[in-house]
Amino acid sequence: MYAAASDAGVCRITYDVTAEAFETDMLNCFEADVAFVPDDDLLSSVEDQVTRYFASELKVFDLPLDFLRGTPFYRQVWRAQQAIPYGECRSYKWVAERSRRPRAARAVGQANRNNDISLLVPCHRVIASGGRLGGYGGQPDIKAFLLDHEGADYIR
């Protein structure tokens, strides 16, 4: 797992990639004028909190976040998702309603696909209204793993 931070907070988390792939991803995803500040304290906190999350010792992340990419709607979606408690799920429709666009459930899915800070912004807790997983960037097994880790209830 790799993380990046700007001077305002964590702006990217990714996993299952090499260091070279992460660097390429960063160059492709963000504007050339975005400055990433080496903050060993912040990145150490990310590592510590993610480690404690996977050890079932942490349920709420306490890290500053920086949404560098995304429309104002996407940012509303990501903020709404931060309110979903550990071990619980909400529907795409629920998130759309909390984002003041009640008919935009599909757009919530697009916002999730563009979430650069997954895990910290828990898009894995958003499922279809009928209780099924829905998408997860083509990796439903990771979504299921995270929900199982949290003990969430969904249709397998």
The catalytic residues are 123
Lookup: tokens for 47: 């590592």
93 within 8 A of 129, measured Cβ to Cβ: yes
Residue type, 83: A
Q: What are phi and psi of 24, to 5 degrees?
A: -60, -45
> For residue 6, is it left (φ>0), alpha (ψ between -120 and 50) or beta?
beta
Identify the DSSP state of 52.
H
Stated as kind and residue range, the H or E segment containing 10 is: strand 10-14
Strands (E) located in 87-135: 90-91, 126-127
Q: How far apart are CA 133 and CA 123, in angstroms?
A: 11
